[in-house]
Amino acid sequence: MAFRFEHGDDYTDMAEINVTPLVDVMLVLLIIFMVTAPLLTQGLTVALPTAEGKSFELASNNPARIQVTANGAVYLDGTAVGSSNLDLSLGPMLRARRIKRALLEADKAVPYGRVVAVLEIMNRAGVEQLGMITQPREANGRPRR
């Protein structure tokens, strides 16, 4: 935006841009994004069992995350796979993505048979390395939050 200023007898154009309003708007947008970004991450609530174990060595690529919620629903990287007939849904998804490394996150209220069924499908789909996510224990034996 250029303004004309009277300079002697003629009018001349000012060739400078006032960047102060631009900087103000950018700072406000930055603050808005910084406040709203943590609110955008949504996840599933899974009550993990407590156990001690060695950490799973992660490669440069991120392993797939398979979650089994308390009601038995299964999710692959946050995408709902379903709760029944996992052979026709989870197995082909794992084979199509050629997943070799996976992390299993099962709620402690899920029956053992359900977790074993998911493990069997993962094994048949070609998952070679599996890590199981648990809640670590505190020094006094209580689960840490």
Least confident piece of the model among 33-37, 58-62, 111-115, 121-125: 58-62
pLDDT of res. 59: 46
Neighbours of 75 (CB within 10 A): 19
Whole-number Å distance between alpha carbons of 126 and 28: 49
* Phi, psi values for residue 54, rounded to 5°: -80, 155
Confidence of residue 76 (pLDDT cuts 50, 70, 90): confident
DSSP tag of 85: -
Average pLDDT value for the chain: 79
Q: What are the tens digits of pLDDT across the range 18-36?
A: 889 999 999 999 999 998 8
pLDDT at 27: 95
Span 106-122, average pLDDT: 88
pLDDT of residue 145: 53
Radius of gyration for the alpha carbons in the chain, expressed in angstroms and rounded? 27
Neighbours of 106 (CB within 10 A): 25
Share of the chain above pLDDT 90, in %: 8
Which of 27, 105, 102, 29 lies closest to 73 in space, CA to CA?
105
pLDDT of residue 3: 59
CB 129 within 8 A of CB 102: yes
